[in-house]
Chain A
Amino acid sequence: MRAEPILRAEGLKKHFPVTEGLLWSTVVGWVKAVDGISFSIPQGQTLALVGESGCGKTTTAKLILRLEEPTSGQVFVDGKNVHALSGDVLKEYRTIVQAVFQDPWSSLSPRMRVREIVAEPLVVNRRVAAAEVESRVAEILGRVGLRPEQANLYPHEFSGGQRQRIAVASALVSDPKLIVLDEPVSALDVSIRAQIMNLLVDLQKQYGVSYLLIAHHLATTRFMAHEVAVMYLGKIMERAKTEELFKNPSHPYTKALFSAALPAHPDIVREEMILSGEVPSPIDPPSGCRFHPRCPFVMPRCAEVEPQEKAIAADHVVACHLY
């Protein structure tokens, strides 16, 4: 049995214009930040988008949060086309999709008390009675491991880990169906990361909320995600269930990412596969397969024909001419 996924993205593209000139600016090119990606997230599960800077993972998150309009393609949340919503339905959408950002030092307003920060999604998008807001805030703070009386404090009175708990509380308060987690632990200290990751996993089990996890740290995705999509220059190179991907990474770029990851023990020696060069500019991405200039297995065909996604196992798709 397979339920309708909470989130479905189809052929999503976002191109930003590159302009020249101040007053009569002309478009001289396009940054193809996201260039035709499709994925879906079932209820209560986590999809991780992994890739290096500039691969389009944050733009994808913005498209889903409706902070950017797509150039083409659609996002469906709960069966509704996100970018066609307006009025009350849009307000409702804003409560069922929430976000937690990387840096809790800049994502929480320093002039609001914790109570106001946490209650904001309820107050802005759902007209909830004051007494109910109060009890809901107290309940959520308890769930994320803060004390109810801390609702009166300001963000600067908390440590980084606690601030991230406040951000999680604020994301959870309106009973969302999907939370976009944009590098939720990378700004935190090592011993605090484990606390927040455990918390996020527990809350998912408890509330059945789905996560879109944006991460660059592979070990984090192995711990948190059910499915992983590897992005490179605006495209998904490989997508598979987490266990399958970690057992059998197939795309050369995925393999390179895995070999570049730091070992957990000095005796773990990974096969060295160090890529030459850096990620090319998304303004003028390479022809054919975008990875071909850096790929150690490059073939003549790679520069000409763009590989299509191909299933190599159940729930395992690769876009590469090797398969």
Chain B
Amino acid sequence: MPRQIGDVVLRVEDLHTYCFTRWGVVRAVDGVSFSLRQGEALGIVGESGCGKTMTALSLLRLVPRPAARIVRGRILLEGDNLLEKTEREMRAIRGRRISMILQDPQTSLNPVFTVGNQLIEAIKIHHKDGRRSLVRRAIDGLKQVRVAAPERRVQDYPHQMSGGMKQRVVGAIAISCEPRVIIADEPTTSLDVTIQAQYLRLLREIQEATNLAVIFITHDFGIVAKMCDRVMVMYAGRVVESGDVRDIFNRPSHPYTQALLSSVPTMDERVERLYSIAGQPPALWDLPAGCRFAARCPHADERCRRDYPPSFTAGEGHTADCWRLEDACEPSQFSGPRA
């Protein structure tokens, strides 16, 4: 693969994003740390409500206000702490250095403007150029995501395009200002399978051409298996396991990862019965003191319910928050949530 994994471009340290609601404080992101290298693809996997989208929005400082606030942590993009930037400075960073592809092109494009205008709007913020050269850039952008006849297509409105085509336009907007990091939040859930395959291949090609760092937010381990180098599994606001894709698939160490992987039916063999996880994730405003998965975990004991486990190293670059790993290895660092 011509893609080269380079230096760390994004480092997130102990990020906490809380939502202050009338039911109490929802700890949507509760102590998430990770780093992302140039050219790397990182998958953040979890079910709805696990905090994966809030993590992504925090990186862009776009958490829904006033309810949500980033209360603690550092987000270092090429050494700059994004949490110390003013809103004006952030506007110069979004799109130019870090950008995002949203889930549903149906709602993320404005129906009353042509796609060309929407591309130009994004480019104009960062490039003070004449109208003609902006249109030129917009056409180049569409060309880059392989939209056929881009000269004609820039004048189209979103409703004149199919779902796959619209998602390409969203992708073109995201990469139009050559960012270093792209966050793709469930980029293909609204697409059909054959269109999804086209789109994922396109993303891979763009990544190879530009050496972009990509974060895939998904609930689907299939996307991780196909696209990612490393993966982070989130549960109830915390990263419960992270590591190299092959390590996670071959030796999942956290019971939640193990359960998730075995509860998905596969195309390649027939199973009689799927493994199913009993119960549901805990409410984020009323989290248990110990391990958050303890109530659903087949191996949970007294200590799991009482104390949150530290991160243990399960292999090189592979950590999991589970007490069962204590005998097997040393704790890498204490990273449990502070009271």
| Chain A residues at the B interface, C-beta cutoff of 8 Å | 52-53, 159, 161, 189-195, 197-198, 201, 216, 218-220, 222-223, 242-243, 246, 256-268, 272, 274-275, 278-279
Contacts and interface: CB of A to CB of B under 8 A. Distances in A.
Contact of A194 (B164, B192, B223, B276): B276
Contacts of B225: 262-266, 268
B298 interface: no
B65 interface: no
Instruction: Please list the 6 inter-chain residue pairs (A to B) with the smallest Cβ-Cβ separation, ordered nearest first.
Output: A262-B222, A260-B197, A194-B263, A223-B265, A194-B276, A52-B192
B338 interface: no
A283 B87 CA distance: 49
A263 B195 contact: no
A169 B224 CA distance: 35
A52 B193 contact: yes
B265 A191 contact: no
Given A189-B48, A191-B260, A265-B225, A159 B280 contact: yes
A258 B273 CA distance: 22
A263 B193 CA distance: 12
A251 to B, nearest CB: 13
A264 B271 contact: no
Binding site secondary structure of chain A: helix
B27 interface: no
B265 A266 contact: no
25 contacts: A52-B192, A52-B195, A189-B48, A194-B264, A194-B274, A194-B275, A197-B265, A198-B273, A198-B274, A218-B193, A220-B265, A223-B270, A246-B270, A258-B267, A260-B197, A261-B222, A262-B222, A262-B223, A264-B225, A268-B225, A274-B197, A275-B194, A275-B197, A278-B165, A278-B195
Nearest to A246: B267
B162 interface: yes
Given A195-B276, A264-B267, A189 B47 contact: yes
Nearest to A197: B274
Contacts of B249: 265-267
Contact of B219 (A190, A261, A279): A190
A218 B267 contact: yes
Interface centre among B264, B265, B275, B277 (most CB of A within 10 A): B265
Given A52-B192, A194-B276, A243 B222 contact: no
Contacts of A220: 265
Contacts of B267: 218-219, 222, 246, 258, 261, 264
A220 B263 CA distance: 11
B18 interface: no
Contacts of A243: 270
Contacts of B195: 52, 278
A14 to B, nearest CB: 21
Chain B interface residue bracket vs A = 35 or more
B194 to A, nearest CB: 5
Given A257-B194, A264-B221, A278-B164, A191 B276 contact: yes
Given A194-B276, A223-B271, A264 B266 contact: yes
A260 B197 CA distance: 5
A194 B277 CA distance: 8
B205 to A, nearest CB: 11
Given A262-B222, A272-B201, A274-B198, 11 more contacts: A52-B192, A190-B264, A194-B277, A195-B277, A198-B274, A216-B192, A256-B194, A259-B197, A260-B197, A264-B225, A264-B267
A101 B214 CA distance: 35
A168 to B, nearest CB: 15
B220 interface: yes
B265 A219 contact: yes
Interface string B257-295: 001100111111011011111101000000000000000
B193 A261 contact: yes
B213 to A, nearest CB: 19
A268 to B, nearest CB: 7
Nearest to B221: A264
B226 interface: yes
B264 to A, nearest CB: 6
A279 B259 CA distance: 36
A223 B274 contact: yes
Contacts of A194: 263-265, 274-277
B246 interface: yes
Contacts of A201: 273
A164 B275 CA distance: 18
Contacts of B221: 264
A61 B275 CA distance: 29
Nearest to B274: A194
A197 B267 CA distance: 15
A241 to B, nearest CB: 11
A307 to B, nearest CB: 20
B155 to A, nearest CB: 20
Interface string B34-47: 00000000000001
B29 interface: no
B144 interface: no
Contacts of B222: 261-264
B106 interface: no
B196 interface: yes
B119 to A, nearest CB: 21
